[in-house]
Amino acid sequence: MKKYAVKIEKLVKEKLKEKPKKKKEKESKGFMARKEKVEDTKEFNTDMADIVAQHIVAIRKKRMELKG
């Protein structure tokens, strides 16, 4: 249990340090423009620790906002 808590805390700290990635929007015009791919399948995150860490990050950010 303690190892898991430590692992989660490490993941949360890593995620908090990460800066949000900006997506570059390339405008493609013309008849040679690539067509947007329609994704049929979604990628599911199977790492449960990662999912929990993501949710913890969201709550921690709210806590940080409360504290200012």
Partner 1 sequence: MSQLQFDPSMLQAPIPGQSLTKEPGNYPWEVPPELSTIEDVIEYYTERLLDANADDAILICLDGGISVEKMAEFITTSGTMNGRHSLDLAFLVDPYVRELIKYVADSANADYIESYSDLEKEKQVPYRQIRSLIKEMHKQQPEETVENIKEEKEEMPKQKGLMAKLKKEN
Q: Which residue ranges make up the site for partner 1 (CB under 8 A)? A: 1, 4-5, 8-9, 48-49, 51-52, 55-56, 59-60, 62-63, 66-67
Between the two ends of the chain, the Cα-to-Cα distance in Å is 31
Decide whether 19 or 62 has the Cβ nearer to partner 1.
62
Decide whether 37 or 63 has the Cβ nearer to partner 1.
63
Contacts of 28 (CB under 8 A, 6+ apart): 34
Decide whether 10 or 33 has the Cβ nearer to partner 1.
10
